[in-house]
């Protein structure tokens, strides 16, 4: 059983306040949509939640099966897709997933990883360098990475960026699946994406 609690969270970059006094809590099978204008701190909030950057104030508490986890312990519970997160373009799609699995302490077979790549619509492209991928294909590969661990908490920032109709329907399937098995947090500017959340937070007033 996973839960995530955010208390009095605030972030400043130098003297510039990005957001302050963010509070919410999420249990398994719940979802949150974070919305707001450009620069309101949606991506920053997601990065703080998964431990990529530290908050200036407040805390993020993640509990799994009754145990409160440290930032390093909780990192393996997250799946993350965001424009800021790039894969290694000098490696093939399969090499990227092999590296990202092994460094996380996973030991998947190549067939298992090929199946994950095929699931996001990149079958038979696993041995191509990411360098040669279109932006939509790179976005799909990010989903394959995010789903490596069957994440307990899935964070999606502008999830349908660069995706075609087929890609968007793939995202819809993943979002529905995640809402049944864990926590989903989605940052978006699109009003059509608001339907994904049980809760909505508006940043930047």
Partner 1 sequence: MEIRSSNWAVKSAWLLAKDLKCEFRTRYALNAILMFALTTLTVVSFSMGAFSLSPRITSSLFWLVIFFSSMSGLAQVFVKEEESRTVSILKLVATPGTVFLGKLLFNLALLLLLEIIIVPLFIILMNLSILNLWLFLSVLFWGSLGLVCATTIIATIISKARAKGALFAVLSFPILLPLLITAIDGTRLSLEGKAFSAGWSDLRLLISYVVVMFVASVLLFDFVWSE
Residues that bind partner 1 (CB under 8 A): 47, 50-54, 72, 75-76, 78, 80, 82, 84-91, 95, 99-108, 112, 145, 148-150
When the beta carbons of 12 and 99 are compared against partner 1, the nearer one is 99
- Phi first, then psi, for residue 118 (nearest 5°) are -65, -35
Q: How far is the CB of 112 from partner 1 (least distance, A)?
A: 7
Q: How far is the CB of 193 from partner 1 (least distance, A)?
A: 22
Q: How far is the CB of 47 from partner 1 (least distance, A)?
A: 7
When the beta carbons of 63 and 76 are compared against partner 1, the nearer one is 76
Q: How far is the CB of 65 from partner 1 (least distance, A)?
A: 14
Q: How far is the CB of 194 from partner 1 (least distance, A)?
A: 26
Q: Nearest Cα to 30, choosing from 170, 171, 180?
A: 180
Question: Distance between CA 161 and CA 126 in Å, rounded?
Answer: 21
When the beta carbons of 78 and 143 are compared against partner 1, the nearer one is 78
Question: Distance between CA 58 and CA 39 in Å, rounded?
Answer: 20
When the beta carbons of 103 and 165 are compared against partner 1, the nearer one is 103
When the beta carbons of 54 and 61 are compared against partner 1, the nearer one is 54
């Amino acid at each position: 059983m996973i839960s995530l609690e955010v208390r009095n969270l605030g972030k400043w970059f130098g003297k510039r306040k990005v957001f302050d006094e963010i509070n919410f809590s999420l249990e398994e099978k719940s979802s949150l949509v974070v919305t707001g204008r450009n620069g309101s701190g949606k991506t920053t909030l997601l990065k703080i939640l998964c431990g990529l950057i530290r908050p200036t104030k407040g805390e993020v508490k993640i509990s799994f099966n009754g145990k409160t986890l440290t930032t390093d312990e909780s990192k393996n519970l997250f799946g993350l897709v965001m424009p800021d997160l790039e894969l290694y373009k000098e490696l093939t799609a399969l090499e990227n997933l092999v590296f990202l699995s092994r460094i996380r302490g996973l030991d998947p077979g190549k067939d298992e990883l090929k199946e994950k790549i095929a699931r996001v619509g990149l079958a038979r492209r696993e041995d191509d360098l990411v360098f040669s991928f279109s932006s939509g294909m790179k976005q799909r590969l990010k989903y394959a990475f995010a789903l490596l661990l069957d994440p307990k908490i899935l964070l999606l920032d502008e999830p349908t960026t660069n995706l075609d109709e087929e890609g968007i329907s793939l995202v819809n399937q993943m979002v529905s699946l995640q809402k049944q098995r864990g926590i989903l947090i989605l940052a978006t500017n699109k009003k059509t994406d608001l339907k994904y959340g049980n809760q909505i937070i508006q940043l930047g007033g």
